Structure 1
Amino acid sequence: MKKASKLCMAFYALMIFLNLLPLIPTSLKGIMGLFFITISAVRIGYRDGLITATLWIVLGYINVVFNINVDYRYTMTNMFLGTGLYFFIAHYLGKTTEELKKKNVQLKNEIKTGEKIQTDLKNKVTVIQSLMDTIPSPIFFKDLDCLYIGCNQAYEEAIGVKEKDIIGKSPYDIYDVELADIYNKIDHELLANADVQKLVYETVVTYADGSVRNIILNKGIFTDERGKPMGIVGVFTDITDKKEIEILKQDVVEKKRIIDEILEQEKIKTEFFSNISHELRTPLNVLLGSIQLLERYSEDDIYGSSQGKVMRNVSIMKQNGYRMLRLVNNLIDITKMDASAFEIHLRNYDVVSIVEEIALSVSSYMESKGLQLVFDTEVEEKIIACDEEKIERIMLNLLSNAVKFTPTGGTVFVGIYQQEDSLLIKVEDDGIGIPSEKQEEIFKRFCQIKDLFSRQHEGSGIGLNIVKALVEMHEGTISVESQINKGTTFTIQLPIKTVEEEAAACKSLSKQDLVEKISVEFSDIYTTSSLSIENKALEKYID
């Protein structure tokens, strides 16, 4: 401050000295006045400029008054003209200088404010970047041209590229073309659709370490304070571990299901073998009882007088022999099926004739059981490729089931129909029926519907499984419809096609063969009462 005051005093002293110096011409002093006023107004300020102008004018009048080397007329003229000029220059330059100083101060303040804002912004960016780097999920930013403008440390580690190396790059510079096409398409769709602010989709990404990760990619638009879109932000959410856990859970559930199925199969097998034991024991006991009675007849030598009783025992032995044969045949067949050694031999037969002959052959047997058999066909003849023996077995099994589960006075219906390229064979009864929840299970091996089986309704639980297998070997299907206490309908659908051979075969079953097959398939149909009566008669005779 003192230094400035000294300079100011020296400035004014110099100005006074030069103005009062006689050696300097008046014209030069006028120019010098302009110089000093300009310097004062520009360097010091508006007020000092006016003071300098006033002082210079006063010094001019002093020169005139004291006649210091001046031309009075010329000097007075210049003084009047100069006074206005001096004050104008002092006023203009002073005001202008002060305005410039104010603007300069304002500019300096704005620069300081801008520097502070920039520093704060830089600090905020540093904080945000630090926070982003602590986030384990990879994050990236793109501009409106879909070029990268930044990312966090997790993204750097994921793709194996530093942030400075991805800025200004596109997805094609980082990912393979196929994945880059997907990303680029989604980015442009997001930017083009103003109604969509966020997109979420699942993708697979190969990380820099070679690991393949399942990713949920969230992409959204980020905007400025006015809501104008600035670019795209994307966040990776790694769900690989979650997926693996889900797979493990599914695997555990699947293994548990398999274990439960195995346990259920083991339970079914245990029940099956228990039932098989009963199925074998029952006819064996009957056979042994009949043999013992025959031995007694032989010992007592009463064959001649008890011929009727002997024949009844022979019939019982034969029926139970057939029953055991049927069971053994079924066991052998399922063993062959498991070993893929069971074969069918297709030839061209009139399947209508086969089914009709079987139905008519068992009609008398059904009548003896108090049942009525109704046969109807819409097709008089249909040659198809089939195995005659297996068709016979299928029909006899279904008919024996119908007889077994239909009460006295009931009706069994057999019908044949053509449906486009298929032949339908229906076996329908009005028996006890099958619960709806059990209808799919009856075709499973070893399956028996417990509520349906009693001493009067016995079976091994493998007959329908074999029937289904035989139908499928003919490239057909079998289905069931049933209602409790209303009856059951089995529908077989066989394709109408033939095989190449010299001539279509249409043979008739020999009576003896058919009788034996019927006897085998129907061997387990008998009543407890009939056996009881027979046994009582035998026991009475022995006693």
Structure 2
Amino acid sequence: MEIMRSYKNIFNLVSDGVYIRKDETIIFSNTAASKILTGCSSNNLLGLNIYKIIRPKEEYMQTYNKFLQDIEDGKEVKSIYLKVIRNYDGKEIDVELSGRKIVYYDEEAYLQIIKNVSEKLQAQRYLEEYKRSQQLLKEAEDTERAQRDFFTNLSHELRTPLNVIMSIVQLQDQACKSDDFTSLKGRYKKYNEVIKQNCYRLLKMINNVLDLSKIEAGYLKLHLENRDIVSTVENITMSVVDYAKSKGINIIFDTDTEEKIMAFDVDYMERIILNLLSNAVKFTPAGKNIYVTIKDLVDTIIISVRDEGEGIPKDKQEAIFDRFIQASCHCSKRKTGTGIGLSLVKSLVELHNGAIKLSSDVGKGSEFIIYLPYTLVKEKERTEVSCHKLQDNKEQISIEFSDISNLDS
């Protein structure tokens, strides 16, 4: 008995709750167990039914029953976590429970160790919430910085063509005062081309910003028609070939199917393909190639635009479709633009219930791959019949390529 009292005194110094039960009745406990199980260390637990003291919450009953079964089967269970309710005060606490089968006074019994981990778990939750809030704060700061950079860049892009136009207007004003006005016809023609080019740049930026805003607000609707996607993409591509050749770049078109009638918006498909081709031309040096390919997977059409340009670093690829990130990987003077074109492309593709992915290696080029689901619309479901003519898209090409054309002037 003296030895048992010594053991009990030792157990009372332990901060973890220790109790021994026979069947459901507690036959030994230390003061820490009384504190954890009842909220008061002076309460005597001997002879009490464990279920009269605490009960696991319903969602933890299966875990608790397995724990009991395992130790009854002779297994040592090192730890399980439960939410339990103390019957003494009705308080809900988090506990860590471990146990094993033992022999106590020559009889089979079960030793269980219980820890109140409520404060520990609460601290972990606070830490996780703090980390989440810090992450959200960082994301908000990154977004704010990206937006600030975007609007700084946008204001610059808007100001540049306006400054060019204003300068030419001033030159024309001076020329009008000249006595030899008629001899300036050739110079005026060049001035008008520059004005037109910069007007296209402004129009492209305004169109992109407005369309993105409409998409985000849910106002932009597709005008779906059943058309041949193969000939549509081929015609758009071929319309750019001469321009690309003037830059020393070859455009190669290839398809594994001659025709695929499906539902899509012809006008916005042109915007998508021209935007991708514009990016490809912008970042591809003379003497290199751009490949446009179509693959028919029956229920999906894959359209790929691949260039042999400078490529995009891996750490920039995730954000490439963000409206505030520019596509180029180098901030050279030649690579101008607001960076919202690819964001618009992604949004337009997704409006077609499609997806777009990027594959790129620095120094090897980039490939944008569009996945469009094969669908058809019934005659009565057509939202609007487009009067768009692909062979007459010179102005659209001028708009989409406007931030390249004047760079070499």
What TM-score, normalized by structure 1, do the two folds share? 0.67
Q: CA deviation at 1:394?
A: 0.8
Alpha-carbon distance change, 301 to 400 in structure 1, aligned in 2, over 3 angstroms: farther
Residue pairs, 1:322-361, within 5 angstroms: 322-361=200-239
Determine the C-alpha separation between the residues in 2 that align with 1:476 and 1:491.
11
- 2:72 corresponds, among 191, 215, 235, to 191
Determine the C-alpha separation between the residues in 1 that align with 2:125 and 2:327.
36
Partner of 1:489: 367
Q: CA deviation at 1:497?
A: 1.4
Alpha-carbon distance change, 271 to 197 in structure 1, aligned in 2, over 3 angstroms: closer
SS in 2 for 1:460: coil
Partner of 1:462: 340
Alpha-carbon distance change, 334 to 210 in structure 1, aligned in 2, over 3 angstroms: farther
- 1:163 corresponds, among 38, 41, 45, to 45
Determine the C-alpha separation between the residues in 1 that align with 2:374 and 2:175.
57
Determine the C-alpha separation between the residues in 2 that align with 1:181 and 1:486.
57
Partner of 2:129: 251
Contact 1:430 1:488 (C-alpha < 8 Å) held by counterparts? yes
1:175 aligns with 2:58: no
Alpha-carbon distance change, 518 to 184 in structure 1, aligned in 2, over 3 angstroms: closer
Determine the C-alpha separation between the residues in 1 that align with 2:158 and 2:240.
25
Determine the C-alpha separation between the residues in 1 that align with 2:246 and 2:57.
82
Partner of 1:424: 302
Q: CA deviation at 1:395?
A: 0.7
Alpha-carbon distance change, 231 to 365 in structure 1, aligned in 2, over 3 angstroms: same
Alpha-carbon distance change, 326 to 180 in structure 1, aligned in 2, over 3 angstroms: closer
Alpha-carbon distance change, 507 to 334 in structure 1, aligned in 2, over 3 angstroms: closer
Q: Deviations over 1:242-268 (max 9, x none)?
A: 112112112111111121122222222
Bigger mean CA offset, 149-158 vs 247-256 = 149-158
1:140 aligns with 2:19: yes
Q: Which is helix-richer, 1 or 2? A: 1
1:214 aligns with 2:115: no
Q: CA deviation at 1:297?
A: 3.1
Contact 1:171 1:180 (C-alpha < 8 Å) held by counterparts? no
Contact 2:55 2:86 (C-alpha < 8 Å) held by counterparts? no
Aligned identity (percent) is: 34
Residue pairs, 1:22-33, within 5 angstroms: none
| Aligned residue identity for 2:166 | L
Contact 2:239 2:391 (C-alpha < 8 Å) held by counterparts? no
Q: Deviations over 1:63-101 (max 9, x none)?
A: xxxxxxxxxxxxxxxxxxxxxxxxxxxxxxxxxxxxxxx
Bigger mean CA offset, 441-450 vs 149-158 = 149-158
- 1:201 corresponds, among 77, 80, 84, to 80
- 1:414 corresponds, among 277, 282, 292, to 292
Alpha-carbon distance change, 157 to 500 in structure 1, aligned in 2, over 3 angstroms: farther
Paired residues in the alignment total 402
Bigger mean CA offset, 329-338 vs 255-264 = 329-338
Contact 1:353 1:381 (C-alpha < 8 Å) held by counterparts? yes
Q: Unaligned regions of 5+ residues in structure 2, if any?
A: none
Contact 1:371 1:409 (C-alpha < 8 Å) held by counterparts? yes
Residue pairs, 1:356-395, within 5 angstroms: 356-395=234-273
Q: CA deviation at 1:356?
A: 1.3
What TM-score, normalized by structure 2, do the two folds share? 0.88
Q: CA RMSD in A?
A: 2.9
Partner of 1:399: 277
Partner of 1:514: 393
Partner of 1:437: 315
| Aligned residue identity for 2:388 | L
Alpha-carbon distance change, 419 to 211 in structure 1, aligned in 2, over 3 angstroms: farther
Partner of 1:305: 183
Q: Deviations over 1:380-418 (max 9, x none)?
A: 222222222221111111000011011112211111101
Determine the C-alpha separation between the residues in 1 that align with 2:134 and 2:381.
55
Bigger Rg, structure 1 or 2: 1
Q: CA deviation at 1:190?
A: 2.0
Determine the C-alpha separation between the residues in 1 that align with 2:66 and 2:148.
62
Runs of 4+ in 1 over 6 A off after TM superposition: 503-508
Q: CA deviation at 1:374?
A: 0.9
Alpha-carbon distance change, 506 to 426 in structure 1, aligned in 2, over 3 angstroms: farther
Alpha-carbon distance change, 516 to 489 in structure 1, aligned in 2, over 3 angstroms: same
Q: CA deviation at 1:348?
A: 2.5
Contact 2:56 2:85 (C-alpha < 8 Å) held by counterparts? no
| Aligned residue identity for 1:292 | Q
Contact 1:198 1:219 (C-alpha < 8 Å) held by counterparts? yes
